[in-house]
Amino acid sequence: MTATSDVQTPNTGTILNPATGEVAGQVQWTDPVQIPAIADGLRSAQREWEQRGAKGRAKTLARFAVWLGDHRDEIEDLLIAETGKSKTDAVQEVPLLIMILSYVIKTMDKALAPERRPAPMAMLAIKKIAVHYRPRPVVGIIAPWNYPVANAMMDAIGALAAGCAVLLKPSERTPLTAELLCRGWRESGGPEVLALAQGAREVSEAVIDNVDYVQFTGSSATGIKVMERAARRLTPVSLELGGKDPMIVLEDADVDLAAHAAVWGAMFNAGQTCVSVERVYVLEPVYDRFVEAVLRDVKELQVGAGEGKHFGALINDDQLAITERHVRDALAAGARALTGGKRTEGPGSFYPPTVLVDVDHSMACMTEETFGPTLPIMKVATVEEAIRLANASTYGLSASVFSGDTARARDVALQLECGAVNINDVITNLMCTTAPMGGWKTSGIGARFGGADGIRKFCRQETVVTPRTNVGAGGNYYHNSLKALARMNRMLTKSALSRPRRTAK
Ligand code: NAD
């Protein structure tokens, strides 16, 4: 088995289960020439969707949340068939999506309400200034394969809430779950404001060329291409990209807690999580205890797809090859694998949990995104060294710091170059939908979530200036005498230098 999807005719493909090689389902690929017409259809339907207002749209989103809850088993079975995930990993996605939906439903009306702005100078107190959030008509969402429910839909929810139509391009490796979710939208009474574009690069490019905003989640290399393509039409982008998240364990940390978090954070979803723990720096006094505790946890892990296993298969042989290369190169350069170290024999693209020690930054396993079930651990002498090494990366997605003193951990957190830091925990910031989730450096531009901003990012701002009274409006129009204009200019200057008045309600 070399691939999880395979084009059979120009229009159809078979999706294979990476754990078993069995057929997960068939997909109808979209011809890129159809994309302009699909986008036009969405554009027409979007007007009515916008006019429903936030409260009207919230009702449809609420019905979709109920549908997701009612169809959870069906979604999870398909997820497992399409990705080779363990049941333990697969069951996380639908609840996360429902949680995001319920937060958005509760907050969207307030987030999208026009904002009153104060007069910047006394003279403008005769105006009411308001900023309105108007949807970008069609949002293109290009998604990866690692979380086919969450990554495809969590941004779609914000965009739909904002009043946009959505053209969703899921990964060509996981198109089936997206089909099911779109069926769910229709069965929830959702209007024709959510459409699918199925395919790979050419289809993505056609999507970028025909939408008003691009929300991309995927690798940093592809993110750069997406931004270049979008720049041709000055289409704004939000990019959620790769990561090489560091964990720092200080000498006063709860070592067992840090080890539990490191093992789960590195192995969850077979390590195929953008915010997975990809490298650990441990202060010398607790290094041996930490490694011992990690090994205790790793020895308990059951690898396999479906029920009763901790994590499942890697998505395909390409992903397996990256993991194999990182481990092989590290071992050749002097690292030791305390567990695992080579791919699992037999069918399916499985790789065992692999704990690496005696690693350093000359090795790809410490600098490149692995996206596999590896845990490289490095001993450091000082906190400063840990911070320097954590920041010695082209990535800056998220990080974690473990210490018995949360103030000290926060001090370390605020020296790290990344979008989020979890103290004495890992990955949890992903559930904090009130705060931005985004990356620095090559980990991205913009952020998903982030309270009202997570919905407003899909909007254009439109300022509307309304007169409180007609007196003074247009005082400097040309039909006035030049003397009157000069008087007006004097008043403007004086007004600009005086304190602005508070906006009356
Ligand atoms: P990828 O970049 O290969 O593909 C992502 C999407 O881009 C797919 O839908 C693919 O069809 C499309 N695509 C491929 N080439 C394209 C091109 N030239 N122009 C436009 N679109 C193109 O990523 P992947 O392998 O599907 O996903 C894994 C990556 O995603 C990892 O790097 C991971 O860290 C990242 N990721 C990031 C986040 C985050 O929130 N920061 C979340 C999940 C995954």
Ligand 1 contact via 146 beta carbon (within 6 Å)? yes
Angle at 216 between CA 271 and CA 25, to 5 degrees: 65
Structure tokens at 189: 């009474």
Distance 428 CA to ligand 1 centre (A): 22
Distance 217 CA to ligand 1 centre (A): 5
Ligand 1 contact via 83 beta carbon (within 6 Å)? no
Ligand 1 contact via 145 beta carbon (within 6 Å)? yes
List % helix, strand, coil for the chain (3-state, nearest 5). 45, 20, 35
Rounded Cα distance, 245 and 266, in Å: 10
Residue 281 CA to chain centroid, in angstroms?
Answer: 25
- pLDDT for 502 equals 55
Q: What is each CA distance from 96 to 307, 409, 433, in whole angstroms?
A: 20, 28, 10
Ligand 1 contact via 353 beta carbon (within 6 Å)? no
Instruction: Please classify residue 286 by burial: count the beta carbons closer than 10 Å to its beta carbon, then call 0-12 exposed, 13-18 middle and 19+ buried.
Output: buried
Distance 219 CA to ligand 1 centre (A): 4
Nearest residue to 177 via CA among 24, 333, 32: 24
Give me the sheet containing 245-249, strands edge to edge: 336-337, 354-357, 374-380, 277-283, 245-249, 398-402, 420-423
Contact 455, 112 (CB under 8 A): yes
Rounded Cα distance, 94 and 243, in Å: 24
3-class DSSP state of 266: helix
- Give the mutation target among 29, 151, 222 for probing the ligand 1 site: most ligand atoms within 8 A of CB: 222
Beta-carbon contacts of 233 under 8 Å, excluding residues fewer than 6 positions away, are 209
Ligand 1 contact via 271 beta carbon (within 6 Å)? no
β-pair partners for 21: none
Rounded Cα distance, 370 and 355, in Å: 13
Question: H helices of 52-200, where?
Answer: 53-70, 72-83, 87-90, 93-112, 150-162, 175-187
Distance 55 CA to ligand 1 centre (A): 33
Residue nearest to atom 9 of ligand 1 (CA): 171
- pLDDT for 4 equals 47
- Kindly name the residue from 93, 172, 205, 240 that is annotated as catalytic: 240
- pLDDT for 282 equals 99
Regions in the chain scoring below 70 on pLDDT: 1-10, 471-476, 499-505
Nearest residue to 127 via CA among 492, 504, 460: 504
Residue 127 dihedral angles phi and psi, to the nearest 5°? -115, 150
Ligand 1 contact via 226 beta carbon (within 6 Å)? yes
- pLDDT for 473 equals 57
Burial 384-400 (b: 16+ CB within 10 A, else e): eebbebbeebebbbbbb
Rounded Cα distance, 204 and 167, in Å: 10
Distance 216 CA to ligand 1 centre (A): 7
Structure tokens at 355: 């704990």
- Give the mutation target among 274, 418, 441 for probing the ligand 1 site: most ligand atoms within 8 A of CB: 274
Rounded Cα distance, 391 and 448, in Å: 23
Residue nearest to atom 30 of ligand 1 (CA): 218
3-class DSSP state of 1: coil
- pLDDT for 501 equals 55
Catalytic residue flag (residue 324)? no
Nearest residue to 458 via CA among 175, 139, 16: 139
Rounded Cα distance, 209 and 171, in Å: 18
Rounded Cα distance, 290 and 297, in Å: 11
Distance 218 CA to ligand 1 centre (A): 2
Ligand 1 contact via 322 beta carbon (within 6 Å)? no
Ligand 1 contact via 218 beta carbon (within 6 Å)? yes
Ligand 1 contact via 144 beta carbon (within 6 Å)? yes
Ligand 1 contact via 217 beta carbon (within 6 Å)? yes
Q: How many CA atoms lie within 13 A of 9 on its CB side?
A: 6
- pLDDT for 288 equals 98
Rounded Cα distance, 405 and 236, in Å: 42
Structure tokens at 392: 């010695």
Contact 415, 384 (CB under 8 A): no
Distance 190 CA to ligand 1 centre (A): 27
Rounded Cα distance, 433 and 187, in Å: 26
- Give the mutation target among 92, 196, 203, 219 for probing the ligand 1 site: most ligand atoms within 8 A of CB: 219
Contact 364, 325 (CB under 8 A): yes
Rounded Cα distance, 371 and 278, in Å: 8
